[in-house]
Amino acid sequence: MLKKTWYIMDCICGKRLSPILKDVIPILETHKEIVIDSGTRDKICKISPATIDRLLSEEKKRYQLKGKSHTNPPWAVNFSLGVSSLYGNKVCATIHI
């Protein structure tokens, strides 16, 4: 239930999710997005931000970008332009910035 609410709230951090859970859960129940009993609702509304982050840590790892950035450093940027002349001859130019 916590995962689904986290997804619906656009994967926000536990610090932001915790204070709004008591307002969001009744709305989600009204629109039949989630179905929970009153005991679970009370526990979810009292959960701390640190506990939310701890419970969702595995799920958050699945959505993190892995590895290095795929952009090149500014000194290695090359543009290869294909230019056609009026007579159909192709001219290729490489520009180093």
Report if residue 7 sits inside a domain: yes
pTM comes to 0.62
Domain encompassing residue 17: 2-62
Please count the structural domains in the chain: 1
> Where is pLDDT greater, at 76 or 53?
53
Whole-number pLDDT of residue 91: 54
Closest CA to 12 of 44, 48, 56, 45: 56
Report if residue 39 sits inside a domain: yes
- Each residue's pLDDT tens digit, 6-35: 999 988 999 999 999 999 999 999 999 999
Report if residue 93 sits inside a domain: no
Cα gap 48→61, rounded to integer Å: 20
- Each residue's pLDDT tens digit, 28-55: 999 999 999 999 989 988 999 999 999 9
Report if residue 33 sits inside a domain: yes
* Residue 63 pLDDT level (bands cut at 50, 70, 90): confident
Q: How confident is the prediction for the chain on average, in pLDDT?
A: 79
* Residue 79 pLDDT level (bands cut at 50, 70, 90): low
Report if residue 45 sits inside a domain: yes
